[in-house]
Amino acid sequence: MLSVDWQTRTINPMVLLFGVLVADIIWMAHMFASGQRPLVCSLCGRQTVVPQGAQFCPFCGARFPPMPPT
Ligand SMILES: [Zn+2]
């Protein structure tokens, strides 16, 4: 029979990590769905979310690689 002790309510670190991962994927999907894309600038290394069609890093002005056709 099941011998799971339901009284122990400790949070499994792996469950927490998985939750963060899922939240991150949902956030990414939302960004893509809303026509934005998260990018890491190859020049200054900062992560930013730019609208579709944006070509330059808002931090350092570096040009992003061309957008793949959607
Ligand atoms: Zn930059």
For residues 50 and 57, what is the distance between their CA atoms, to the nearest angstrom?
8
Q: Find the 7 Cα to ligand 1 centroid distance in Å.
A: 50
According to DSSP, the residues that pair with 40 across neighbouring strands are 47
Q: Find the 14 Cα to ligand 1 centroid distance in Å.
A: 34
In tens digits, the chain (70 residues) has pLDDT values of 666 666 667 778 889 999 999 999 998 888 777 777 778 888 899 988 877 778 888 899 998 776 666 5
CB 49 within 8 A of CB 64: no
What are the φ and ψ backbone dihedral angles of 54, each rounded to 5 degrees? -65, 140
Domain boundaries, the chain: 37-70
